[in-house]
């Protein structure tokens, strides 16, 4: 690095880059939101699947600054793939990304010990650091007084007090970022031969002895800067006394999860109805405006019906993510892992596996990625293998459709519980129980070995900030709609093509789709699926359903919209299905989707995360076998019981 000046981003027109580093639960993401607002995007790091959050802001000096939110860590001694990303980025080892110019280390002012140890480790890197002393409001409320000036003097690092959730102190932080970048440029100017950004990297993996030395240094810094240690949160302690109570804790957790699934239905009903009506209107308008022909068929039957039948599930997905974000930001998620550690231990899983598994209810892809926080490879693989058994939101459309068609909308238990919600809960429970059973078998056969130790911080409870919740939800909505707009859109067009060509010969009997490529494919698969009660329309829908599970519904919509004529076209899909399928067929399809053949994105993430084709193939084989077996048993038993 001899041409330092030229390679310094500020001189190249590349925006200077800032990395946010800190322990988990320090309010790092809230600070990221406060700095960037909605100007942020989520992508994956190339080659790995850790989510990379990047944002931009304009500093008071008018510089456009790029900011990266790195995964939280307690140490640069990375123990999990997530933490490896943080380590590699700050060390500049990451191939695809230049090291940050300035690191903003975020620390929870109420809990400085662990955070300051990380700051000392980061200082060894020899890059400019700013310490954002976050959650100052909570610290003050607890009588904890930190002397920021003394802390800065003792640490040798600029310190800025902030309250990220209220965006207090952000201006001070921005000014400090400008000063640090200015100092960095000034440092470089007189000594072009020196290493970039000041002193060279002096970090090496600390031994237990080094870690103790860091802690002693932290204690002497705190002795100088901590005027009053304050009292630990009494509210958190009292709430935990109830929520972690041996008798109350688990029932309460299950109640929370049950309410969550009821809410997914109840809260989403109205917006879904509105989207449905809106789509119907658009479809009718497009139908009236266009002349009969291929274009009209493509637009109304292919694109609007197909993409629309997926977009309609946006409200449910948002409600689900709302709950997951709530559980995460209040601090209850860690409690859930605490409560379940013993039970999960019964099947050999780590309590921390709860978080990936719960995320898998939204989508198995982030769930499998969240398994990165599990350090032990065997534990991690076991968690990855069962994560897709958790009912992801992409299965919701299928469940909803079939339940709406076959389960009457009434209440049981004195009007307290909706029957449809109860069936949904049963399906979720079936997924969970089979996941536990699968884990039990896996941990006793393939993934033998002692469990990874549990060392997990239980953060203080806090009220989530509406702004951060909203940004989190927007991010999820954006990802979902982007999927609907790209992958699903493309598949819908392909499916429409398969369903429309070749056209039925003149004078042919039966619906046109019978003669198309899709019809041929469906009929070819039908004998294979007949023992489990699937019709050829289902067989057609399952093929694109491999790309994304929710596409199966859209595909059914297309298949039926194209194969029915007259009144059936205007009737809802649920009505069509209720008339066309027997109850055992519907139950069999539900059972199939509990164990569903995974979507392609899940499989590709499994391949990337395990770095092996083998585990991906194992997953396909075992889940397809489970799905076929479960659907077979369901179909045969229910046929026998119903006399069908």
Partner 1 sequence: MIPPLSGSARDAASSPAPHRTPGPPPALAPGSSADPPSRAGKGCRLGALHKGERAVVTGLDESAVATPLPPGELERRMIEMGLIEGARVEILHEGFPGADPLAVRINDHTLALRRAEAHAVLVTLG
Footprint of partner 1 on this chain (CB under 8 A)?
74-75, 77, 79, 110-114, 117, 205-209, 211-212, 215, 219-220, 222-223, 226, 229-232, 236-237, 240-241, 244-247, 249-250, 334, 337-339, 341-342, 351, 376, 378, 449-460
Nearer to partner 1 by Cβ, of 117 and 395: the residue is 117
Cβ atoms < 10 Å from Cβ of 149? 10
Q: How far is the CB of 340 from partner 1 (least distance, A)?
A: 9
What region, left, alpha or beta, does residue 150 occupy, with left being phi > 0 and alpha being psi -120 to 50 degrees?
Answer: alpha
Are 225 and 146 a contacting pair, CB within 8 Å?
yes
Q: How far is 53 from 32, CA to CA, in rounded Å?
A: 9
- Shortest spacing between CB 170 and partner 1, in angstroms: 25
- 97 neighbors 50 (Cβ within 8 angstroms): no
Separation of alpha carbons 388 and 140, rounded Å: 44
- Our CB check for partner 1 shows the closer of 138 and 392 to be 138
**Rounded to an integer, what distance in angstroms lies between the CA atom of residue 634 and that of residue 476?**
35
Q: Which residues pair with 200 in a beta bridge?
A: none
Contacts of 50 (CB under 8 A, 6+ apart): 44, 71, 81, 82, 85, 369, 372
Which CB sits closer to partner 1, 211 or 423?
211
Q: Which of these, 364, 315, 297, lies nearest to 563 by C-alpha position?
A: 297
Query: What is the closest distance, in whole angstroms, from the C-beta atom of residue 28 to partner 1 in the complex?
Result: 16
At its nearest, how many Å lie between partner 1 and the CB of residue 178? 32
Q: If you search the block for the tokens 């194969």, which residue do you land on?
A: 563
Q: Least distance in Å: CB of 221 to partner 1?
A: 10
Contact 339, 255 (CB under 8 A): no
Prior bond of 502 cis (ω within 30°): yes
DSSP sequence for 295-333: HHIIIIIIIIHHHHHHHTTHHHHHHHHHHHHHHHHHTHH
Tokens of 508: 């042919």
How far is 581 from 279, CA to CA, in rounded Å?
25
Nearer to partner 1, 33 or 75 (CB): 75
Phi/psi of residue 18, nearest 5 degrees: -120, 140
For residue 54, what are the β-bridge partners? Answer: 41, 68
The pairing of strands 102-108 and 159-161 is: unpaired
Contact residues for 35 (Cβ-Cβ < 8 A; gap 6+): 55, 57, 67, 170, 173, 174
Q: In angstroms, what is the C-alpha Rg of the chain?
A: 28
DSSP state of 465: P
Q: From the CB of 449, what's the least distance to partner 1, in Å?
A: 5
Of residues 332 and 595, the one with the C-beta less far from partner 1: 332
Write b or e for each residue in 330-360: b if 16 or more Cβ atoms lie within 10 A of its Cβ, otherwise e. bbbbbbbbbbbbeebeebbbbbbbbbbbbbb
Q: Is 486 exposed, middle or buried, given 0-12, 13-18 or 19+ CB atoms closer than 10 A?
A: exposed
Tell me which H or E stretch contains 542: helix 536-545
- Cα torsion angle, 57, 9, 163, 25, sign: positive
Pick 182 or 449: Cβ nearer partner 1? 449
CB 104 within 8 Å of CB 21: yes
Least CB distance to partner 1 at residue 131 (A): 17
């Amino acid at each position: 690095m001899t041409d330092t000046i030229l390679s310094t981003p500020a001189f190249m027109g590349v925006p200077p880059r800032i990395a946010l580093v800190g322990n988990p639960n320090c309010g790092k993401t809230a600070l990221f939101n406060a700095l960037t607002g909605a100007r942020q995007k989520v992508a994956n790091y190339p080659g790995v699947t850790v989510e990379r959050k990047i944002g931009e802001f304009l500093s008071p000096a008018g510089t456009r600054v790029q900011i990266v939110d790195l995964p939280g860590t307690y140490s640069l001694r990375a123990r999990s793939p997530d933490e490896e990303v943080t380590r590699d980025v700050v060390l500049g080892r990451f191939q695809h990304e230049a090291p940050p110019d300035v690191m903003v280390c975020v620390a929870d002012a109420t809990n400085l010990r662990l955070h300051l140890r990380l700051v000392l480790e980061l200082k060894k890197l020899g890059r400019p650091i700013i310490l954002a002393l976050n959650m100052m409001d909570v610290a003050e409320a607890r009588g904890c007084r930190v002397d920021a000036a003394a802390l800065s003097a003792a640490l040798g690092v600029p310190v800025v007090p902030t309250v990220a959730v209220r965006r207090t102190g952000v201006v001070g932080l921005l000014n400090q970022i400008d000063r640090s970048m200015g100092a960095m440029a000034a440092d470089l100017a007189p000594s072009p031969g020196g290493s970039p950004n000041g002193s060279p990297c002096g970090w090496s993996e600390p031994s237990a002895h080094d870690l103790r030395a860091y802690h002693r240094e932290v204690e002497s810094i705190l002795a100088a800067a901590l005027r009053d240690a304050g009292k630990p949160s009494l509210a958190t302690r009292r709430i935990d006394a109830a929520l972690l109570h041996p008798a109350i804790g688990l029932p309460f957790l299950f109640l929370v999860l049950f309410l969550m699934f009821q809410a997914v239905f109840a809260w989403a009903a109205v917006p879904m109805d509105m989207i449905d009506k809106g789509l119907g209107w658009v479809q009718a308008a497009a139908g009236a405006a266009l002349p009969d022909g291929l274009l009209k068929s493509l637009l109304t039957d292919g694109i609007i019906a197909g993409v629309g039948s997926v977009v309609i599930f946006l409200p449910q997905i948002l409600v689900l993510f709302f709950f997951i974000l709530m559980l995460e930001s209040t601090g209850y998620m860690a409690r859930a892992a605490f409560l379940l550690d013993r039970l999960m231990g019964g099947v050999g899983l780590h309590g921390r596996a709860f978080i990936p598994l719960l995320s898998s209810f939204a989508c198995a892809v982030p769930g499998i990625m969240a398994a990165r926080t599990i350090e032990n490879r065997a534990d991690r693989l076991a968690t990855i293998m069962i994560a897709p058994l958790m009912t992801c939101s992409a299965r919701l459309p299928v469940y909803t459709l079939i339940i709406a068609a076959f389960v009457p909308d009434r209440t049981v238990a004195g009007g307290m519980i909706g029957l449809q919600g109860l069936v949904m809960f049963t399906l979720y429970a079936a997924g969970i129980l089979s996941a536990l059973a699968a884990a039990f078998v896996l941990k006793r056969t393939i993934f033998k070995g002692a469990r990874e130790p549990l060392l997990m911080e239980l953060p203080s409870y806090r009220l989530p900030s509406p702004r951060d919740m909203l940004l989190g939800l927007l991010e999820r909505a954006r990802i979902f709609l982007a999927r609907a707009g790209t992958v699903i859109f493309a598949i819908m067009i392909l499916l429409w093509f398969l369903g429309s060509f070749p056209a039925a010969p003149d004078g042919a009997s039966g619906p046109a789709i019978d003669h198309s490529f899709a019809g041929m494919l469906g009929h070819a698969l039908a004998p294979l699926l007949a023992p489990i009660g699937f019709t050829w329309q289902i067989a057609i829908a399952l093929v694109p359903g491999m790309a994304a599970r929710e596409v199966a519904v859209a595909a059914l919509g297309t298949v039926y919209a194209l194969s029915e004529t007259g009144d059936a076209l205007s009737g809802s899909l649920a009505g069509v299905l209720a008339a066309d399928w027997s109850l055992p067929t519907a139950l069999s399809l539900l059972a199939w989707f509990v164990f569903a053949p995974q979507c392609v994105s899940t499989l590709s993430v499994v391949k990337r995360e395990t770095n092996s084709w083998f585990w991906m193939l194992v997953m396909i084989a075992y889940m397809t076998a489970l799905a076929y077996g479960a659907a077979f048993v369901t179909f045969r038993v229910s046929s026998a019981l119903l006399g069908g």
